[in-house]
Structures are given as C-alpha cells and as structure tokens.
Structure 1
C-alpha cells in the first residue's frame, strides 16, 4: 500500500530544525504521510527571515514533485513580519507555481485561536522582542488582544532545537501568570517541542493551549477534510 493513501502533506521547514517534522510523524494519523523541503534561515530577524521567504517557491516546487495534496509553509515569522494579509499572498503564489493548495503556520495558529473562541492571548515564543513586536501587531490586526508576551530572545535558529518541551511548559506558564486576563496560551515556533506538555499546561492553567506544530497539523488535516482527533494534543482537537 502506498504511503499517504489518505493524504500526502508537504511541509517546508527551516533547515536547522527537525523537531517539528518529527513531532508530526510521531502522531500522524493512519494513511497520512509527509514530504519535507528545507529553507535556510541565517538568523531569526527581519533580514534572515526575508532570506527564508525568498526560498519558499523553490521549496514548494520540490514538494510538488512528491505529488502532495497540500503544501504547508512553516516558519510563522516569515509571514507575520509582513503583516496581516501576507499569508494569503504566499499561499496564492504557491498555488500559482505548483497548482497545489497551501496554508501557512501563522494563519493556522490564528485559525486555532479563533476556533477555541479565544480573545486575550498569553503569548510565549522563542523570538526576540523586535520580532515579537511584529507578531503582536499582526495578532491585533486579526482581532486578538495580547495579554502578555514573553520571548527567549533567540536569533540563531538552531538554538531553539536545544530547548526541550519542559522549556515550552515553563515559558507558557510564565506568560500565563504574567497576564491579568488570558483565555488562551499561544506557544509560537515550529522548532519548539510542545506535544508532550500540552495536556499538562492546559490542566495547570485551566485555559486552552495552541502551539505552532499542533495548530498547523490540525489545520492541515481539516483543510484536507480529515476529521481525525489526535489524543493528548489539547482542547483544539475537540472543537472541529
């Protein structure tokens, strides 16, 4: 039987990161397979992310040769730095270049928060304050309020790889505790491992938690019409 007989999903991710791709593979529903393409990110800042985004169409063309059903642009800052609406532009360019529909990680995170009915978000990221400020502007344009925001100030993209899931738990908890009112937590970075800690962070804070890899996998499956519910990946999977 061919791998990916239900769905073949193409994911483009920073070349330094294997964590997100492996998180997806550890929980992949039966009949769902992934093809990988990589982009180079010199630094997690505005100039470095422009370099990453300049490689998106070539990565998309590589994924198209695997006959994928959907192309996923991973690397949320690559689109939020350009502001609300850039995700749609990137997806349209990928579709024009390959004939294959596309989604972005940043838009998937926003869709997940909307599906949960969240409004006031405690945000935890690996990014610098400069990049976080751009993210906050984007999220506010999408209708969210930033209840708090904490970042690890990472500029070298590989450095996010050395942070284990317990780091994501602590950062998400700290962001929640720093907020006067937060009805959800967002942990943003596709290199940041979160799957192990999602149910515990939700249990310990009492609010739903959205993370980059969780939300993007959820959006990818739903875009393809697959209703699978993946256990222990948070309240998001119970809403749609």
Structure 2
C-alpha cells in the first residue's frame, strides 16, 4: 500500500511549471518505473479524475487540484509548519533554534524554541529585528534573495564592513552552492550559528532555520549540526510545498 501511495505521489511530482503536460514515457522516466507500470498508475488517476489526457495523448493535472488547494487553511503559516521540526532540532542539538525572514534590510525572528536547561545559551525573541549584516541567518537570507532585492543591502554591507562587493557576492555564491551558512563570532563574540534556507511552494527561500549557541559547543559539533539543520530545513520545505535539496 505504501509503495502504491509513493508511486502515485511521484506521478504528481513529475509535473512542474515548465512541464505542465507530459507524455506517458516522460512520466515513466520521471518516476523511474517501466512504461507498463506507469500506464496502470496513470490510467487509475485519469479514471479518478486527477489527470486529464489531452488530444495529443499528453497528460496534465486536472482542476480537482484547484479545489483541493482552496481547502488549505489560511492560518497554516510558517510557524505552524516549522514548529515540529524546530522542536526536534532543538532536542537533537540542545541549542536554541529560530526561524528568520528578511524585512526592509533587517532579519526578523519569526519564531524560536529552546529546550536545553543550560544557562549558557543563545536567546532569540520572536519579533526581534537585527540589521541584515552579519551572521549565518543574514547570509543565508541574502544568498537566496532575488538579486534585485539584495543589491542595495549588499552595498550597505560592503560600506559597513569595509569589504568589497565582489568578495561578499563570492561568499553568498558559495552558500548557495553548499546550501547552508556558518558563522562564528560575527555578530556577537563567542556566539556561533548554522543556517539553511526554507523553500516555499513558489520556489522561493524567504525563510531560514538557524541553530544558535556558544561557539565552544557549536564548533565542537559543527559537522553533525550542519547535517541536522539541513535536514530540518528540508522537512519544513517539504511541508511548506517547496522543493527539497537532495
């Protein structure tokens, strides 16, 4: 039963904004199954009204998805979606976990959790705003921000930090390539952080998830924490309808 569900979902995931209609062979190739198996799955979905076969024998999603999309709760925001993954990450790392977004040249803490009893820990309050200059969260948000939106902020960072714009852009390009950012003592001496982007259904990374803590602890577990942060970001992205990096 689980395999059948996974195969059905894989057929739906085959479609994309630049691939709104597919041939049976293209669907079979996408889900990595024999054409005969794909034919049975596609036939069942067409009969159920979830796929439409066009005159050129290509398939597309039906309007039933529009009705289902309309049922999504308007109150299902990033906090509700991210909270389970945040709690899990906080338990795994025993450090403070936060979700950030960029607003008018600042990074804003949308939500934060801290489950560790240690008195030596980072404190982030929801609603707290920090200039989008330094730290892993700032760099992650900037790295995945559209260039038209980030250009003025990058110029301000270059002036404030006395660094060349080319150097900053190269660092942001590296963050995009690796899918995460790390900072040690950039914003506050002795504080380290690891951040990864959260993708939404529009393919945009307007949020990031961050683990914050004393450098002495974060540096000791940097490699393991990075994997956990990226996994948490992927889990949230998946629930948020966004793409998930492999």
Structure with higher RCO (Cα < 8 A, 6+ apart): 1
For the pair shown, the structure with the greater C-alpha radius of gyration is 2
Is TM (by shorter chain) over 0.5?
no
Q: TM-score, normalised by structure 1?
A: 0.30
